[in-house]
Amino acid sequence: MSPTFPLDPRSAAAAQVRATLQERERALRAEVEAARQVGRTDPSAVAREVRDREEEAEAQVSTGINDAEIGRDVGELREIGEALQRLDAGRYGQCKDCDELIDPRRLAAEPFAVRCTRCQGVREQAQRRI
Residue 61 domain flag: yes
CB 40 within 8 A of CB 34: no
Stretches in the chain below the pLDDT threshold 70:
1-2, 39, 41-51
Q: Quick one: DSSP state of residue 52?
A: S
Residue 44 domain flag: yes
pTM of the predicted model as reported, rounded to 2 decimal places:
0.78
Residue 130 domain flag: no
pLDDT per residue as tens digits for the range 21-58: 999 999 999 999 988 887 676 555 555 555 677 777 77
% the chain with pLDDT above 70: 88
- How far are the Cα atoms of 97, 125, 128 from residue 119, in angstroms, in the given order? 7, 10, 14
Residue 64 domain flag: yes
Count of structural domains, the chain: 1
Residue 31 domain flag: yes
Residue 110 domain flag: no
Rounded CA-CA distance 14/89 in Å is 11
Residue 84 domain flag: yes
Q: Which domain holds residue 81?
A: 12-94
Rounded CA-CA distance 20/30 in Å is 16
Residue 3 domain flag: no
CB 111 within 8 A of CB 83: yes
